[in-house]
Amino acid sequence: TKWVYNFGAGEAEGHAEIKDLLGNKGANLAEMASIGLPVPPGFTLTTEVCSHFEQTGSYPQDLKEQVQKALQILESRAGCKFGDSENPLLVSVRSGARARMPGMMDTVLNVGLNAKTVEALAEQSDDRRFAFDSYRRFIQMYADIVLGVDACHFEKMLQRAKQKRGVKQDHELQVEDLERLVRDYKTRVFVELGEEFPTDPQVQLWGAIGAVFKSWTNPRAKTYRELHDIPEEGGTAANVQAMVFGNMGHDSASGVAFTRNPSNGDNHFYGEFLLNAQGEDVVAGIRTPSELTMQARMAHGNNSPSLEEKMPKVFRELMAIRDQLEKHYKDVQDIEFTIQKGKLYMLQTRSGKRTTQAAIQIAVDMTNEGLITKQQAVMRLHPSQIDQLLHPTIAENAKKQIIAKGLPASPGAAIGKVVFCADEAVQRVSDGEKVILVRNETSPDDIHGLHAAEGVLTTRGGMTSHAAVVARSMGRPCVAGAGHLEIDEAAGKLKIGDLVLEKGDKLSIDGSTGEVLLGEVPTVLPKVTGAFRTLMSWADEYRTMQVRANAETKADAILAKDFGAEGIGLVRTEHMFFAGMRITAMRQMILASDTKDRKDALHRLLFMQREDITELFQIMDGQPVTIRLFDPPLHEFLPNTEAELSYVARAAGVPVERVRRRATELREFNPMLGHRGCRLAITYPEICEMQARAIFGAAAEAGRTSPSKKTPVAEVMVPLVATLEEFKIIKGIIDKTAAAVQKEENVNFTYRVGTMIELPRAALQAGKLAEEAEFFSFGTNDLTQTTYGLSRDDTGTFMSDYKAKGIMAQDPFVTLDEEGVGELIKVAMNRGLSTRPDMKMGICGEHGGDPTSIDFCQRTGLNYVSCSPYRVPIARLAAAQSAL
Ligand code: PEP
Ligand code: MG
C-alpha cells in the first residue's frame, strides 16, 4: 500500500480529488504544487495510516521506510537536511481531515530543533533571537501536544521572564531571556515527566506524527464532529512540510485571505496579515492584523499600512495567485500564506466558507464572469443555507444608539443579553433566554457558547479570527474586534468609555455594519432582492414542481407571495380563530350544547371567516388557494382556566355550569385520534355548511374585488378522511352550498373538493377516494403520526435515544420516512391516478419545506409542495436542485 504522497517543486503524487485519502489540506497542497504555485515541499501520510493506527494501535509495517524515502526527497527539494548541524531542515506536522475541523486537531511546528540545529538556524537567519524564540515555541508546543505537559507551566514561565525584563510583549524579550527560557522549559519537562525532552529529530518527528493521528479522537474533535454531522470514521492525514518562517524579521509576514469577501460576496481580495509573525498568530486574533489591500484599509479607516503598500511586489504576486486559484477551482478560496524574507509561500488553499449572502453573490457573479454555468450556480448552495438570509436585519429607520463599532464579520442582527462565557451562554439559552456572547477573543473551546448565542461580539481579532469564521459558518451574526470595549469578566461588566453594562443587560449587534447598539433595536424581515432574486429566478427555470405556502393570515400570505409562493396549499381555518376575541367565538361554537346555540356561534364565525378568506384570495390573485375545513383536535380550543370558562359563558349568555359540564364532556383521552378532522363535519354538518358558505362567498367577493377581477378557483379540502363514505357526505354538503351561493350571488365559479391523505387507511383506499375527491394533499404530519403510531407532540423524550442508537437516522417528523410513509404515499398516488389520471397531488405537512423530503416529492412525481412562508425560498431551490 502507498501510505505516503510527496509534493513540491511543481509536481505532486496526489491531487485535489483524493481528499478522502490525503485530507483536505494534503489534497490541496498537492494540487497547488502541481499547478506550479510556490508551496514549500513536503509529504502527506494518508488517512488510512490514521485508521490503521486507531484500529491496531501501531503503524503499518512499511510506513517507516516510506517516510524515510519521502524525507530524502523532501531534503533534496528543500536543499537542506533533517537534523543537520549546518544546514538543518525543520518541518511542520499538521493534521488535516477530509472535512474541515478548524482548530480541533493538533499541529506541531519547528520539528527538528535541538541544541545543535538551533545554532545553525541562528547562523542562517543571522538572527539569534529569532532562532531561540522558535526553539522556545517548539518546546512549549511539543511538550503540550505530544508529551502532555500542561501548557500553563510554560505560560507562567514566559510571564515571569517578561516581568523580570519589565516588558509586556513576547517580542520584547532579549536573546538571553529566550535562551534561559529554553533551559527552564527543558528542566520543567524533566521534572514533569522524569525524562529529557527529545533531542533526536527522528524521535520528534514520529512523536508529532503520532500526536496528530491521536488528535482525531480527542474530545474536542469528537464534539465538533457530532455538532457538524461529520462521520467518526475517516481519520485525519498528517502533513509533513518544510518550515517557512513569517517571523524572520520585518520583511517576513504571515497572512490569511479569501479570494472574495466571504461576508457579503464582493469581488474584492479580502484578508489580513501580520508582519513578523507566524500563521497561528493571525488566526488566534491576539494581535489585530493589517489589511491586504489599500482599498480595504481605507474602507475600515485602518492606519497601519496594507500589504499592497508595504510589499507591493509580493502583493502583486499574491493577486496573480488569487486569480489563478479561482480560475482553477472555480470557487472562492480561503488561503494561508507566509512571506519569508520577501519570498511568498502558499501554505493552504481550500474552498472558502462564506455566509449565504456571500454564497449567492459569488455564485451569480461567477456565472456572469463565465467561470461557472447557471446550473452550477443553482447547485452551489445547500437549500437550508437560505434560512440564514431569512433572518431579521436592523430596521433602516430604527432609532439606535451606537455604543461601539467593530468589524462587520458575519451579517444579520442579533439581540440578546450580555454574557461573557460560553458555559453561561448555554445555561441561559437552555433557560429560554437569548444571549450575545461577548469575549476578547474566542477559541475552539467556546464552540458550544457560539452555537447557543444569538450573536457574537469580540474586542480583539480581525475578520478571519476564530470568532468570525465560526460565526459565519454557523450563520450567527458577529461583530469582531470592537476595540473600545473593555470586558471585566470577574466583575461581570462591559465598559465602553463611561458607559457600563452589566452581565444580563440587553445589547444588539449588527453584523452587517459592525455596529454595537444599546438595548433592543427593532428589526425587519429581509426581501428577495438583488443577487438572491437572480439566483431564485434561475432556480425557477429548472424547477418543475410548484411551491405553495401554508398560510392563514394576511401577513403570512403576503410574505409567502413575496417569497415566491405560487398559491396557498393549506389554510388551516381553525388557526384563523386563535387570536384575541375570536377564540371565544370558536369556543362557543365548540362548546354549544345544541344545534341552535351552535348555529348562533357559527353565524358570528361566518362573517369573520368569509372576510379572512376573501383577503387571502385577493392577495393570491388568481393563484390556487386550498382551504381546509375545521380540523382542531378539540383540546386545542377547550378553555383551561375558570376565567376562560366564565368568559365563554358570559359571551354566550349561558350559565357557567353548563359550559363547564360541556367542556368536561368533550375532554378526550387521545384527542389527536379523537373527535377531529372530518368527524366534526360529520357530526355537526352545520359547521361544514358555514365554512362552505364562507369560502364560496369569499370567492364571489374576491372575483369582484381582487386586482385581476378573476373569480378564484377555490379548493376545499377535507381533513383526516378515512373512508369514501365520510368524504361523500361532506362533499354533498359542499356541493349543495356552492350551488346555493352561486344562485344567491348570481355568479359562476369553478371549485374543487379534495381530500387530505393523513391516515394509512386513506392511502390504501386512495383508488376509491379518487372517485369523488378531485385532488389529494398529503398531510404528512398526521400520516407520519399514524403510520408510526408515534405521537407528533411527544417524541421529545425518546427521539434523541432513537437517533443515538441508530434506530432512526432523522426525526421522521422533520425528514420524511421514505420507507414507510413514503411507501404509503406512492401507493396512494398510484391508486388515485389509476382512478383519476389527471388528478393533482401535493404535500402540505412540515416535510414540504425540508430539502431531503422535497427531493422525494420530486422523484415520486408530486405536483407541488406546500410549506411555511419562511421556507418557500428554500423549497424553490431544493425543488430546482432535485429537478436538475
Ligand atoms: C398534516 O397532518 O400533515 C397537516 C398538514 O395537517 P396538520 O398539521 O394541521 O394536522
Ligand atoms: Mg393533519
Q: What is the pTM of this model?
A: 0.80
Strand residue runs (E) in 588-745: 625-628, 714-718
What sections of 530-632 are H helices per DSSP? Answer: 530-542, 554-562, 582-591, 595-620
User: Which residues have CB under 8 Å from 159's CB, separation 6+?
Assistant: none
pLDDT of residue 860: 98
The residues of the chain that CATH labels 3.50.30.10 are: 392-524
Taken as a whole, the chain contains a residue count of: 884
- For the beta sheet containing 333-340, the strands, ordered from the edge strand earlier in sequence to the opposite edge, are 290-291, 270-275, 253-258, 333-340, 343-351
Asked if residues 625 and 552 have their Cβ atoms less than 8 Å apart, the reply is no
**Superfamily of the domain at 392-524:** Phosphohistidine domain (3.50.30.10)
For a substitution probing ligand 1, which of 575, 781, 857, 871 has the most ligand atoms within 8 Å of its CB?
A: 781
- For the beta sheet containing 407-410, the strands, ordered from the edge strand earlier in sequence to the opposite edge, are 402-405, 515-518, 506-510, 413-419, 435-439, 455-458, 478-480, 407-410
Asked if residues 708 and 743 have their Cβ atoms less than 8 Å apart, the reply is no
pLDDT of residue 158: 93
Q: Stretch 291-296: mean pLDDT, rounded?
A: 92
pLDDT of residue 580: 63
Considering every ligand atom shown, identify the ligand nearest to the alpha carbon of residue 845 and give its number: 1
Give residue 724 CA to ligand 1 midpoint distance, Å.
Answer: 20
pLDDT of residue 443: 78
The residues of the chain that CATH labels 3.20.20.60 are: 543-635+672-883
Fill in the DSSP letter of residue 334: E
Among all residues, which ones are annotated catalytic? 466, 844
Distance CA 173, CA 519 (A): 44
Give residue 757 CA to ligand 2 midpoint distance, Å.
Answer: 9
Q: Stretch 533-552: mean pLDDT, rounded?
A: 96
Q: Which of 14-23, 185-194, 380-389, 782-791 has the lowest mean pLDDT?
A: 380-389
Which of 652, 639, 579, 587 is CA-nearest to residue 612?
579
Give residue 781 CA to ligand 1 midpoint distance, Å.
Answer: 5
Ligand 1: residue whose CA is nearest its atom 9:
572
| Pairing between β-strand 625-628 and β-strand 568-572 as defined by DSSP bridges | parallel
Q: Say if ligand 1 is within 6 A of residue 599 CB.
A: no
Q: Is the pLDDT of residue 356 over 70?
A: yes
Q: Identify the three-state secondary structure at position 234.
A: coil
Encode pLDDT of 400-444 as tens digits.
888 988 888 888 899 999 999 999 998 999 888 999 999 998 877
pLDDT of residue 223: 80
Q: Say if ligand 1 is within 6 A of residue 632 CB.
A: no
**Superfamily of the domain at 253-354:** ATP-grasp fold, B domain (3.30.470.20)
Distance CA 367, CA 363 (A): 6
Ligand 1: residue whose CA is nearest its atom 10:
782
Q: What are phi and psi of 468, to 5 degrees?
A: -65, -45
Q: Report which ligand 1 atom has the smallest distance to the Cα of 720.
A: 2
- If one compares 12 and 464, the residue with the highest pLDDT of the two is 12
Distance CA 608, CA 603 (A): 9
pLDDT of residue 751: 96
Q: Stretch 601-612: mean pLDDT, rounded?
A: 92
When the pLDDT of each residue in the chain is averaged and rounded to a whole number, the result is 92
Q: What are phi and psi of 317, to 5 degrees?
A: -65, -40
Q: Stretch 779-785: mean pLDDT, rounded?
A: 94
**pLDDT tier at 224 (50, 70, 90 boundaries)?**
confident
For a substitution probing ligand 1, which of 678, 756, 783, 813 has the most ligand atoms within 8 Å of its CB?
A: 756
Distance CA 446, CA 448 (A): 6
The residues of the chain that CATH labels 1.20.80.30 are: 51-61+71-242
Considering every ligand atom shown, identify the ligand nearest to the alpha carbon of residue 793 and give its number: 1
Q: Stretch 334-361: mean pLDDT, rounded?
A: 94
Cell of 467: 470568532
- 3.40.50.720, 3.20.20.60, 3.40.50.300, 3.10.20.740: which CATH number matches 543-635+672-883? 3.20.20.60
**pLDDT tier at 285 (50, 70, 90 boundaries)?**
low
For a substitution probing ligand 1, which of 550, 782, 813 has the most ligand atoms within 8 Å of its CB?
A: 782
Q: Facing residues of 241 across strands? A: 42, 92
What single letter denotes the amino acid at residue 721?
V
Q: Report which ligand 1 atom has the smallest distance to the Cα of 785.
A: 2
pLDDT of residue 673: 92
In terms of phi and psi (left: phi > 0; alpha: psi -120 to 50; beta: otherwise), the region of 819 is: alpha
Q: Which of 353-357, 818-822, 823-827 has the lowest mean pLDDT?
A: 353-357
Encode pLDDT of 756-772 as tens digits.
999 999 999 999 999 99
- CATH architecture for the domain at 51-61+71-242: Up-down Bundle (1.20)
Q: Say if ligand 1 is within 6 A of residue 757 CB.
A: no
Residues, Cβ < 5 Å to ion ligand 2? 758, 779, 782
Chain center to CA of 279:
27
Considering every ligand atom shown, identify the ligand nearest to the alpha carbon of residue 867 and give its number: 1
Q: Which of 30-34, 668-672, 686-690 has the lowest mean pLDDT?
A: 668-672
pLDDT of residue 473: 65
Fill in the DSSP letter of residue 92: E
CA atoms within 13 A on the CB side of 37: 28
CB burial readout 700-733, b (16+ within 10 A) else e: bbbbeebeeeebbbbbbbbbbbbebebbebbbeb
How far the first Cα of the chain sits from its last, in Å, is: 39
Q: Say if ligand 1 is within 6 A of residue 758 CB.
A: yes
Q: Which of 73-87, 112-126, 702-716, 769-783 has the lowest mean pLDDT?
A: 702-716
Dmax over Cα atoms in the chain, in whole Å? 105
Distance CA 776, CA 782 (A): 14
pLDDT of residue 328: 97
Fill in the DSSP letter of residue 818: I
Q: Report which ligand 1 atom has the smallest distance to the Cα of 846.
A: 3
Q: Say if ligand 1 is within 6 A of residue 845 CB.
A: yes
Q: Stretch 593-606: mean pLDDT, rounded?
A: 87
Q: Is the pLDDT of residue 253 over 80?
A: yes
Distance CA 89, CA 107 (A): 17
Q: Stretch 576-585: mean pLDDT, rounded?
A: 76
Q: Say if ligand 1 is within 6 A of residue 550 CB.
A: no
Distance CA 395, CA 512 (A): 12
pLDDT of residue 556: 87
Angle, in degrees to the nearest 10, between helices 724-745 and 685-705: 40
Q: Which helix (H) or strand (E) holds 416?
A: strand 413-419
The residues of the chain that CATH labels 3.30.470.20 are: 253-354
**pLDDT tier at 679 (50, 70, 90 boundaries)?**
very high
pLDDT of residue 280: 78
**pLDDT tier at 211 (50, 70, 90 boundaries)?**
very high
- If one compares 542 and 670, the residue with the highest pLDDT of the two is 542
Q: Is the pLDDT of residue 638 over 90?
A: no
Which of 511, 479, 414, 408 is CA-nearest to residue 453?
414
Ligand 1: residue whose CA is nearest its atom 4:
779
**pLDDT tier at 470 (50, 70, 90 boundaries)?**
confident
pLDDT of residue 233: 86
What single letter denotes the amino acid at residue 817?
D
